[in-house]
């Protein structure tokens, strides 16, 4: 008979069992390991729930199960190491490794496998499965211990270990279900307690019998093999129970769902919607034939997973869709999930979809395992809505919009139209657009406009309109006729754009392009256009017209003295006076600067008559421009030089006509300014000759066609003191060109600069050559320097550089300046002369007496000598004035301590008279004409050094 009292009170004798204790450190480590492994497995479980890819979910499930299973086994193994016995036990490797599998199986059952099933098992069955796996793992692992003796188990404590395993497993899974991974560390501690409590309860139930210990038949001890069998039996029973539960539940549910699904799909397919069926836990999905057709797929072609659906959703929509699905799953209840989003079709296009779904099945823990819904193609509706939005946005655009009926009664206007016209909406609605007419367009204009609308269905163009204030303004109007399906006009839509600013901008652009901003007169561009048209009209009508080229005299002086602001006021006043002197049909234009043009169209078919009219108008203009001007607080007087050119009967271009008028104007300037001149064809011939000469002059400089001739300078004793270097040009096509012909042209074209540089270089090289000839080493060479050349910034450096590299004595070089040098920038001239003078270079003031030299400046100049111009020497014996001037020049030179030389001396009486005045240096044909260098050197060698004849000397003494 079963002895229950012995069962509860049985204890083996102390000598039969090994005593043991616990190492608390290893105990703590074992518990920490299982908690850590459980925490990692739970975090992986979170990722499984958030994931959409089936493959990723499977991988995470496997990793989570292995992690937790190994954690449970590790806790058991480390927990066994925590046992301190009289001798150290060993372990059977195969048995120890075998004990791992129940732990992994328990983790799979509790966390992964059942979680991925469509129907969840009740919590008690799952907790029994987990507890049984822990017990099997523990008792199999215990059989792997090798020590001196054998194992046995206390029946009561062995039973309690079962109760502990099942209870704490239930508690751990309960925490996981309720907390939904909100606090995974708490759930992990629950799993740690379940495993640790089972393990150490099992240890307490264990007897470590010594070798040779004998028990009586009546001793109530469970052997180690029996413990494994009992725990394994529990596991198999729980697995069988779970399997039966699953099969029965799934079978019943499947039949029910199949029946409802057939009815539901039949109804939805008939409505044209696509049907989907999705298990959020396994991510498996089923899509109807219509669902695939909406996206362009064949039946069953689209991947049957929820992840594939989310992947096909537009990137801008998928985040909101996922968020909505999760919110619906958490919310529960009988509500429907709805969303609108774009999905990509098989062809790569995008379709708008309305999704509607509902959770139809949940597991025992209330997790959704089946959601069924529909997809409706709403692409056409979305496009229609977009068109409506575009139309509404366009109607309320910045352009004025008006809609009328077929009778032209205004039905609707937008805000921009109201702002443009100044009327309120109530004042406009019901009226016709006639209320907006400006009166600038006649009946024919509107008749033609409506003919276009009736024929073509639209009209657009510029039109003048009237605001409520009465202001007339330009607008761009587009009218479109709206017809119904029968082609009958039902409405008219007008788009009104105020183009006032554009018109103002066009006028501004035209003003900038064709009018002078200072005077408001037509500029060169508009002038040439009008002139071109007038040339054609005058020729066609056989009428003479005239062009007046006007240049204001000495305008630069006004800018330099009173400033450019006064100059601008002066030009504006000139423009008004010119307009006052001309007719409305005449054109007054400003070319730029101080140049104006007046065009007098179609004066007369008779050339003389036309010339008389043009002359009278020009004289009127001259008189008007000669009147005083008031420039703010300043008064100014001015005049003008005007060139007149007639045209009309012959073909001529605008460029040629402008050149002819310009030539006539310069003729007026040459005549002393403040006058008018008519164009003469000889002027053109002169200009052409001048242009040809300029071209030859440029070639001559490049080809070095010039030579220097030297005219000797002698003193009263007949001694040669030096020579003046005079340039000569022998042109291959022209022969010898007189200096008076090409020197002025070189000055005007600034070719005098390279020409002067060549003269300087050549003269210095000649001085260097003479320095090697004893009889000529003392000679000086005088060269003429142009004011333009002297004004160059680097003139001083150039002269000093030339003197240096040729190696001449600076005192042998003499620069001859004219009085014209002293008219401008005197301080700069004095500064340059002083630098060169300090270097030893001499200066002679050429043509003295012909200009307007200031004596105050003259005394400051570092001059060597004054040169009496040949114009005074020529008639010095017959013209008292020339004699007086020559005498004054000599006296002035003596008073300033300067030398004096006379040029153009051709006779001995002239020399004698000059000597009588005190001039003892001469240059002229009396001694020699200018000679080429070879002839000059030969002349010097043969020059007898003659002095004045006895007769001439006698006259000198009288």
Separation in Å, CA 513 to CA 523, 525, 530, 643: 8, 8, 14, 27
What are φ and ψ of residue 707, in 5° steps? -135, 160
Model confidence at 117, pLDDT cuts 50, 70, 90, reads very low
Give the alpha-carbon dihedral of 784, 789, 792, 797, to 10 degrees.
-40
Question: What's the rounded Cα separation, in Å, for the pair 126 and 67?
Answer: 19
With beta carbons less than 8 A apart as the criterion, state whether 312 and 299 touch: no
Alpha helices, H only, 299-424: 306-312, 315-331, 379-395, 415-421
**pLDDT for position 228:** 65
What separation, in Å, do the N-terminal and C-terminal C-alpha atoms of the chain show? 193
**Residue 470 in this model has a pLDDT that exceeds 50:** yes
In contact, 594 and 571? CB cutoff 8 Å: yes
Q: How confident is the model at residue 957 (pLDDT cuts 50, 70, 90)?
A: very low
Any idea which of 18-27, 854-863, 948-957 has the lowest mean pLDDT? 948-957
Residue-wise pLDDT for 577-634, tens only, equals 999 999 989 999 998 889 999 999 989 898 888 888 998 999 999 999 999 999 888 8
Strand partners, 497: 476
| Fold topology of 703-934 | TIM Barrel (3.20.20)
Give the pairing type, strands 544-552 and 640-647. Answer: antiparallel
Is 217 or 192 the better-scoring residue by pLDDT?
192
Sorted by sequence, the CB contacts under 8 Å of residue 757 that are 6+ apart come out as: 789, 798
Select from 829, 833, 834, 868 the least CA-distant residue to 848: 868
CATH topology for 517-679 is: Alpha-Beta Plaits (3.30.70)
- If DSSP codes are grouped into helix, strand and coil, which group holds residue 723? strand
The answer to whether the beta carbons of residues 292 and 300 sit under 8 Å apart is yes
- The least confident of 137-146, 662-671, 890-899 is 137-146
Q: Are 406 and 490 within 8 A, CB to CB? A: yes
pLDDT band (50, 70, 90) for residue 417: confident
At which residue do the structure tokens 């050349």 appear? Answer: 789
List the alpha helices (DSSP H) in 332-442.
379-395, 415-421, 425-428
Q: How far is CA 407 from CA 207, 432, 489, in A?
A: 111, 9, 10
For residues 18-41, give the mean pLDDT.
81
Residue 223's beta-bridge partner residues? 152
- Contact present, 521 and 550 (Cβ < 8 Å): no
**Whole-number Cα distances in Å, 674 to 75, 509, 550, 625:** 123, 37, 10, 9
Q: Strand, helix or coil at 798? A: helix
Helix (H) or strand (E) holding 590: strand 587-592
Enter the DSSP assignment of 433: G
**Which stretch, 146-155, 707-716, 886-895, has highest mean pLDDT?**
707-716
C-alpha 439/C-alpha 929 separation (Å) is: 90
Statement: residue 7 has pLDDT above 50 = no
* Residue 672 CB-density burial (10 A; 0-12 exposed, 13-18 middle, 19+ buried): exposed
Calculate mean pLDDT across residues 109-132.
63
List pLDDT tens digits, range 376-395.
998 888 887 776 666 655 56
Q: Is 427-504 the same fold as 272-384? A: yes
Residue 553 in contact with residue 639, Cβ under 8 Å?
yes
Residue 509's pLDDT is 74
CA R_g for the chain? 61
Band the pLDDT of 331: cuts 50, 70, 90.
Answer: confident
In the three-class reduction of DSSP (H, G, I as helix; E, B as strand; rest coil), residue 174 is classed as helix
* Confidence band for 574, pLDDT divided at 50, 70 and 90: very high
Count the neighbouring beta carbons within 10 Å of the beta carbon of residue 100. 20
347-360 pLDDT, tens digit each: 999 999 999 888 88
Do residues 904 and 887 touch, judged by C-beta distance below 8 A?
no
Which range (87-101, 387-401, 698-712, 797-811) has the least confidence?
387-401
Whether residue 269 has pLDDT greater than 60: no
- Does 854 score more than 60 pLDDT? no
* Residue 511 confidence (pLDDT): 67
**What pLDDT does residue 217 have?**
45
Burial of 211 (0-12, 13-18, 19+ CB in 10 A): exposed
Contact of 227 with 141, CB cutoff 8 Å: no
Domain extents in the chain: 21-248, 272-384, 427-504, 517-679, 703-934
pLDDT at 118: 42
Q: Rounded to whole angstroms, how far apart are CA atoms 375 and 402?
A: 41
Do residues 351 and 342 make contact, with C-beta atoms less than 8 angstroms apart? yes
Q: Which residues contact 312 (CB under 8 A, 6 or more apart)?
A: 295, 343, 344
Structure-token pair, residue 650: 């012959």
Residue 90 has pLDDT above 90, yes or no: no
Which tokens sit at 284? 């498996």
β-sheet with 368-377: strand ranges across? 285-287, 274-278, 368-377, 350-362, 337-344
Q: What is the DSSP letter of 454?
A: H
Residue 923: predicted pLDDT: 95
Stronger pLDDT, 284 or 514, i.e. the higher one: 284
Say yes or no to pLDDT of 8 above 70.
Answer: no
- Residues 655-701 have pLDDT tens digits of 999 998 998 898 888 888 888 888 877 655 666 787 788 899 999 99
What are the DSSP E strand ranges found in 83-143?
A: 83-85, 90-91
Residue 163 in this model has a pLDDT that exceeds 60: yes
The one-character DSSP state at 773 is S
Domain 272-384 fold is Beta-Lactamase (3.30.450)
C-alpha 134/C-alpha 94 separation (Å) is 18
Q: Which helix (H) or strand (E) holds 157?
A: helix 155-179
For the stretch 214-242, pLDDT in tens is 665 445 566 666 656 666 676 666 666 66
pTM flag (> 0.85): no
In 300-312, which positions are buried (b, 16+ CB within 10 angstroms) versus exposed (e)?
A: eebebbbbbbeeb
Q: Is pLDDT of 2 > 50? A: no
Mean pLDDT value across residues 106-115: 58
pLDDT score for 115: 47
Separation CA 451–CA 238 (nearest Å): 95
Q: Please provide the average confidence, as pLDDT, over all residues in the chain.
A: 82
Q: How confident is the model at residue 723 (pLDDT cuts 50, 70, 90)?
A: very high
Alpha carbons 816 and 863: distance in angstroms, whole number: 10
The answer to whether the beta carbons of residues 285 and 279 sit under 8 Å apart is yes
Give the mean model confidence (pLDDT) for residues 721-748. Answer: 92
Q: What is the average pLDDT across 17-28?
A: 80
Residues 287-301 have pLDDT tens digits of 988 899 999 999 889
The token duo for 64 is: 């989570």
Q: What pLDDT is attached to residue 913? A: 94
Please state which CATH number belongs to domain 427-504: 3.30.450.20
* Per-residue buried b or exposed e for 462-473, using 16+ beta carbons within 10 Å of the residue's own CB: ebebbeeeeeee
Position 259 confidence tier, pLDDT thresholds 50, 70, 90? low
* pLDDT given for residue 11 in this prediction: 65
The secondary structure of residue 719, as a DSSP letter, is: -
Residue 239, burial from CB neighbour count under 10 angstroms (0-12, 13-18, 19+):
middle
| DSSP label at residue 819 | G
Matching residue, tokens 């443009």: 420
Query: Six-digit token pair at 884?
Result: 């007086």
Q: In angstroms, what CA-CA distances link 302 with 280, 285, 286, 294?
A: 18, 10, 9, 11
Lowest mean pLDDT among 138-147, 454-463, 844-853: 844-853
């Amino acid at each position: 008979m079963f002895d229950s009292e012995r069962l509860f009170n049985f204890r083996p004798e102390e000598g039969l069992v090994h005593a043991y204790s616990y190492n608390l450190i290893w105990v703590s480590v074992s518990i920490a390991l299982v908690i850590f492994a459980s925490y990692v497995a739970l975090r992986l479980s979170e990722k499984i729930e958030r994931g959409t890819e089936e493959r990723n979910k499977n991988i995470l499930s496997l990793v989570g199960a292995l992690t937790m299973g190994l954690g449970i086994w590790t806790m058991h193994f480390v927990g066994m190491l925590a046992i301190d016995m009289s001798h150290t036990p060993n372990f059977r490797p195969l048995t120890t490794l075998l004990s791992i599998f129940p732990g992994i199986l328990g983790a799979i059952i509790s966390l992964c496998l059942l979680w991925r099933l469509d129907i969840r098992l009740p919590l008690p069955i799952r907790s029994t499965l987990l507890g049984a796996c822990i017990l099997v793992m523990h008792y199999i692992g215990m059989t792997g211990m090798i020590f001196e003796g054998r194992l046995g188990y206390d029946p009561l404590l062995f039973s309690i270990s079962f109760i502990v395993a099942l209870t704490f497993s239930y508690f751990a899974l309960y925490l996981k279900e309720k907390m939904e991974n909100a606090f995974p560390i708490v759930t992990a501690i629950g799993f740690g307690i379940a495993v640790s409590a089972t393990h150490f309860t099992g240890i307490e139930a264990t007897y470590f019998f010594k070798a040779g210990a004998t028990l009586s038949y009546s001793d109530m001890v469970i052997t180690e093999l029996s413990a494994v069998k009992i725990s394994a039996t529990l596991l198999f029973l729980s697995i069988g129970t779970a399997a039966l539960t699953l099969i029965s539940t799934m079978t019943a549910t499947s039949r029910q769902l199949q029946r409802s699904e057939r009815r539901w799909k039949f109804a939805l397919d008939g409505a044209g919607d696509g049907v989907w069926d999705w298990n959020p836990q396994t991510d498996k999905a089923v899509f109807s034939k219509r669902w695939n057709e909406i996206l362009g797929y064949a039946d069953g072609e689209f991947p049957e997973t929820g992840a594939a659906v989310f992947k096909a959703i537009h990137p801008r929509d998928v985040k909101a869709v996922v968020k909505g699905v999760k919110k619906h799953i958490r919310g529960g209840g009988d509500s429907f999930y709805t969303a609108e989003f774009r999905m990509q079709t098989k062809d790569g296009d995008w379709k708008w979809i309305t999704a509607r779904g509902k959770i139809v099945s949940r597991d025992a823990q209330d997790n959704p395992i089946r959601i069924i819904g529909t997809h409706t193609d709403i692409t056409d509706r979305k496009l229609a809505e977009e068109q409506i939005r575009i139309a509404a946005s366009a109607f309320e655009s910045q352009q004025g919009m008006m809609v009328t009926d077929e009778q032209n009664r205004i039905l609707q206007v937008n805000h921009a139209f109201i702002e443009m016209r100044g009327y309120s909406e109530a004042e406009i609605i019901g009226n016709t657009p006639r209320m907006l007419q400006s009166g600038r367009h006649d009946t024919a204009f509107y008749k033609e406009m409506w003919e276009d609308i009736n024929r073509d269905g639209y009209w657009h163009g510029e039109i003048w309109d009237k605001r409520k204030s009465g202001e007339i303004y330009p607008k761009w109007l587009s009218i479109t006729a709206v017809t119904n399906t029968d082609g009958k006009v039902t409405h008219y839509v007008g788009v009104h754009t105020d183009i006032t600013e554009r018109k103002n901008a066009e006028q501004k652009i035209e003003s900038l392009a064709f009018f002078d901003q200072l005077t408001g007169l037509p500029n060169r561009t508009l002038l040439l256009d009008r002139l071109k048209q007038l040339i054609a009209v005058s020729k066609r009508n056989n009428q003479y017209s005239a062009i007046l080229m006007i240049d204001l005299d000495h305008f630069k002086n006004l800018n330099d003295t009173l400033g450019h602001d006064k100059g601008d006021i002066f030009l504006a006043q000139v423009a008004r006076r010119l307009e006052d002197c001309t007719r409305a049909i005449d054109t007054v234009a400003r070319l730029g600067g101080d140049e104006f043009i007046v065009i007098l169209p179609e004066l007369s078919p008779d050339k003389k008559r036309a010339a008389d009219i043009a002359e009278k108008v020009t004289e009127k203009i001259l008189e008007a421009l000669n009147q005083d001007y008031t420039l703010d607080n300043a008064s100014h007087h001015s005049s003008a030089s005007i060139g007149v050119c007639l045209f009309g009967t012959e073909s001529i271009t605008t460029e040629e006509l402008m050149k002819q008028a310009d030539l006539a104007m310069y003729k007026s300037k040459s005549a002393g300014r403040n006058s008018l001149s008519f164009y003469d064809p000889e002027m053109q011939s002169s200009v052409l000759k001048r242009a040809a000469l300029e071209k030859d002059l440029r070639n001559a400089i490049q080809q070095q066609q010039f030579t220097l001739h030297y005219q000797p300078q002698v003193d009263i004793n007949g001694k040669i003191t030096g020579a003046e270097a005079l340039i000569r040009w022998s042109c291959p096509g022209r022969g010898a060109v007189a200096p008076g012909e090409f020197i002025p042209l070189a000055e005007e074209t600034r070719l005098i600069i390279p020409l002067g540089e060549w003269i300087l270089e050549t003269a210095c090289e000649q001085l260097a050559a003479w320095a090697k000839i004893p009889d000529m080493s003392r000679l000086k060479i005088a060269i003429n320097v142009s004011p333009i050349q002297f004004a160059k910034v680097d003139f001083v450096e150039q002269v000093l550089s030339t003197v240096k590299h040729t190696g001449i004595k600076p005192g042998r070089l003499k620069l001859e300046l004219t009085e014209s040098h002293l008219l401008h920038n005197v301080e700069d001239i004095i500064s340059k002369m002083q630098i060169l003078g300090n270097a030893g270079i001499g200066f002679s003031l050429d043509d003295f007496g012909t200009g307007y030299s200031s004596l105050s400046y003259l005394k400051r100049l570092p001059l060597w000598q004054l040169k009496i111009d040949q114009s005074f020497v020529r008639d010095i014996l017959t013209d008292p004035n020339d004699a007086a001037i020559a005498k004054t020049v000599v006296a002035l030179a003596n008073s300033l301590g300067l030398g004096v030389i006379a040029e153009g001396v051709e006779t001995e009486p002239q020399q004698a008279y000059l000597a009588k005045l005190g001039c003892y240096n001469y240059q002229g044909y009396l001694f020699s004409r200018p000679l080429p260098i070879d002839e000059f050197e030969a002349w010097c060698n043969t020059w007898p050094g003659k002095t004045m004849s006895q007769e001439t000397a006698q006259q000198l003494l009288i």
